[in-house]
Amino acid sequence: MVDPRQQNTQLIRQFARSLGFDHIGIARAVKLEEDARRLEEWLNKGMQGQMQYMERYFDQRVDPRVLVPGAQSVITLLLNYYPDQDQTKNSPLISKYAYGKDYHEVIRNKLGALLSRIRENIGEVQGRGFVDSAPVLERTWAKRSGLGWVGKNGNLINKSAGSFFFIATLITDLELEYDDPFAKDYCGTCTKCIDACPTEAILPGNIVNGSKCISYFTIELKDELIPSEMKGRFNNWAFGCDICQDICPWNRFSTPTEEPSFRPIPEILNLSTEEWEAMSEERFKRVFKDSPLKRTKYGGMMRNIKFIGS
Residues recognised as catalytic: 132
| Residues facing residue 78 across a β-bridge | 23, 167
For residues 81 and 97, the answer to whether their CB atoms sit within 8 Å is yes
For residues 139 and 167, the answer to whether their CB atoms sit within 8 Å is yes
Residue from 98, 140, 116 nearest 263 by CA: 98
Would you give the distance in Å from CA 37 to the centre of its chain?
22
* Alpha-carbon span 234 to 302, nearest angstrom: 15
Residue from 165, 119, 112 nearest 138 by CA: 165
| Residues facing residue 80 across a β-bridge | 165
> Cα-Cα-Cα-Cα dihedral of 28, 34, 36, 42, to 10°?
-140
For residues 308 and 198, the answer to whether their CB atoms sit within 8 Å is no
* Alpha-carbon span 243 to 102, nearest angstrom: 21
